[in-house]
Amino acid sequence: SQTIHQWPATLVQPVGSPLSLECTVEGTSNPNLYWYRQAAGRGLQLLFYSVGIGQISSEVPQNLSASRPQDRQFILSSKKLLLSDSGFYLCAWAGQLGMNTEAFFGQGTRLTVV
């Protein structure tokens, strides 16, 4: 069966420090991968998605970047964190079957920038 791992679960970082959040998927190949951010009371905002290695689509301009160095690995990064980067970050994957395929989510990373 497929599983998705996301770490760390919680993270407290000072303003201006770098960020690296990692997400890996097991049990499937060539998944679509997604990074979402959930801020308090604001729903889920799609940050990045990827249909293959090295292919990244960005939804909104921001202080973050994403990379997909391997088929089942998706990394969210920042060179210098801002206070506004605080939030709950969720990684998700979906099959390549089409738009009727649901997304499967990791457990999330709670990031607090201080």
Partner 1 sequence: AQSVTQLGSHVSVSEGALVLLRCNYSSSVPPYLFWYVQYPNQGLQLLLKYTTGATLVKGINGFEAEFKKSETSFHLTKPSAHMSDAAEYFCAVSDQGTGGFKTIFGAGTRLFVKA
- Gap between the Cα atoms of 73 and 19, Å rounded: 16
* DSSP string across 11-66: EEE-TT--EEEEEEEES-SS-EEEEEEE-TTS-EEEEEEEEETTEEEESS--S-EE
Binding-site member from 19, 21, 34, 64 for partner 1 (CB under 8 A): 34
Nearer to partner 1, 53 or 56 (CB): 56
Query: Contact letters (x/-) for partner 1, 88-107, by CB under 8 A?
Result: x-x-x-x---xxx-xxxxxx
Q: Which of 21, 24, 37, 49 binds partner 1 (CB under 8 A)?
A: 49
Nearest CA among 111, 92, 107 for reference residue 50? 92
Among 21, 24, 25, 50, binds partner 1 (CB under 8 A): 50
DSSP state of 102: P
**Where along the sequence are the contacts to partner 1 (CB under 8 A)?**
6, 32, 34, 36, 41-44, 46, 49-51, 55-57, 59, 88, 90, 92, 94, 98-100, 102-108, 110
